[in-house]
Amino acid sequence: MELRGAFTALSTPFKDGEVDESTYRDFIEWQIEQGIDGLVPCGTTGEAATMSHEEQGRVIKICVDQTKGRVPVIAGAGSNSTKEAIELTKMAKDAGADAALQITPYYNKPTPGGLVAHFKAIAEAASLPLVIYNVPGRTGLNCLPSTLKMIKDAVPEAIGVKEATGNLCQGAEVVELCGRDFTLLSGDDFTVLPLLAVGGSGVISVVSNIMPKAMSDMCSAFFDKDHEKALELSLKMAPVNRAMFMETNPIPVKTALDMMGVFKDAQFRLPIVPLLDENKPKLEAVLKTAGLL
C-alpha cells in the first residue's frame, strides 16, 4: 500500500476521564474536511500509553468507522512486550485499520536481531502492513538504517518507518539502503520538508492536529514540484511547530485544540498534566499570529 502525504497523529479527547466519542468523531470529520491524507489513532499524541487495551481497540474502531475508507488509518499498536504488541495488532486488524504503527520496544533496548525477531513475530501472528516507529528520544534505542534494512528483508509486512530522530543524514540513508519502495515518513514536524527532499513520502504529524490543511498542502506542493509554495507553508508552520513542543507532547497541541474550540475541554491523564499557566499566553500568541484564533 502507498502511504503518501500528511497523516495526523490524532489527539484523543477525554470527558470525565473517559474517551469523548462524539468530540472524537467530529474531530476526525474536520480533519478529513480539511484535506488530511491519513489518520493515526492511538499514537504518542493520542495518549495511548495511558489507555487500556479495551479503550485502545475502541478508539481505533471509532476512527475506522468514522473515516469509512476515505483516508488510510494507521493504528498505533506497539509495545515493548512482543506478546502485547501482537494482541494490539490483532485488535487493530480486526477493527479494520489499514496498517499498524509499531514503536521499537522501549526500555528493553533490544539488539538488531531482537528487533527483527520482534517485528517478525508480530507479522506472523497478525499479518498487517507495519510502519516502524523510530523515536530514540522516547525509547532509548535508535533503529539504524542498516537494522531497518534487516527488518525489511525479513518481514515483508514492514512497509516503512516513521523516522523521528531529526537526523536528515539518517533519513537519507534509510532511502539509500531500503529503497524507494520502503516508505519514509517524518516523525518530527521540524524536518518534514527537508526529509521529503531526500526521498521521504510524508509525515505523521503533531501540528496537523491544528493545521491539517497547511501540512497536507505543503506535502502536495512538494510532490507537484511547487517548491516555493512548499517552503512558504513550511515557514508558516515553523513557529507553531516550536510551540507544540514548549512542553511535552501532547500537552501544547491538546491545549491548542481547546483554545480553538475543536475540543470542548483539554483533559489529560496522569502522569500528563495541563500546560503551565505561564505558557498559556505564549501559546495563545503563536496561535493568533498563525491565524488559528
Q: Point out the residues that are catalytic.
A: 133, 162
Phi, psi angle pair for 217, to nearest 5°: -65, -35
130-134 β-sheet, strand order: 38-40, 5-9, 202-205, 183-186, 158-163, 130-134, 99-103, 74-76
| Triad 113, 117, 123: Cα angle to 5° | 145
List the alpha helices (DSSP H) in the chain: 21-33, 53-67, 82-95, 112-125, 136-139, 145-154, 168-178, 192-197, 212-223, 227-243, 251-259, 280-289
CB 209 within 8 A of CB 242: no
Which three-class secondary structure state does DSSP give residue 262? coil
| 5-9 and 202-205 beta bridge pairing | parallel
CB 149 within 8 A of CB 178: yes
CA distances from 69 to 73, 112, 125, 178 (A): 8, 35, 24, 28
Q: Is the dihedral of CA 71, 106, 269, 293 positive or negative?
A: negative
Residue whose cell numbers read 534509510: 174
